Amino acid sequence: MGGGRNLDSILRVPVMIQVVLGSATMPVATLMKLGRGAIVPLDHRVGEPVDVVVNGRVIARGEVVVVEDDNSRFGVSLTEIVGPLASESNA
């Protein structure tokens, strides 16, 4: 008994969701030289799916889109849900 209440409690736990456009590696000396207008090339290319990360684990991939109701905001259209084994290898 009370299983519904336990599930309801779990469903209200907040999680951190991040959309990763890409990453870059550079020496600290290069990092220190960056200033306004500097461009940092990322390892993802235009058109490649972005990673959707929840609490540090990749759970899906998708495409960046403009939100219909608010053209000043971006969203992600999910194209792939990553299984548990694949997300553990990316952790």
Residue 66 has a pLDDT of: 92
Higher pLDDT, 90 or 80: 80
Q: What is the pLDDT of residues 31-81, one digit of tens each?
A: 999 999 999 999 989 889 999 999 999 999 999 999 988 889 999 999 999
Q: Indicate the pLDDT class of residue 25, thresholds 50, 70 and 90.
A: very high
Residue 17 has a pLDDT of: 95
Q: What is the pLDDT of residues 3-23, one digit of tens each?
A: 667 888 889 999 999 999 999
Containing 18, the helix (H) or strand (E) segment is: strand 17-20
Instruction: Return the residue matching tokens 């548990």.
Output: 84
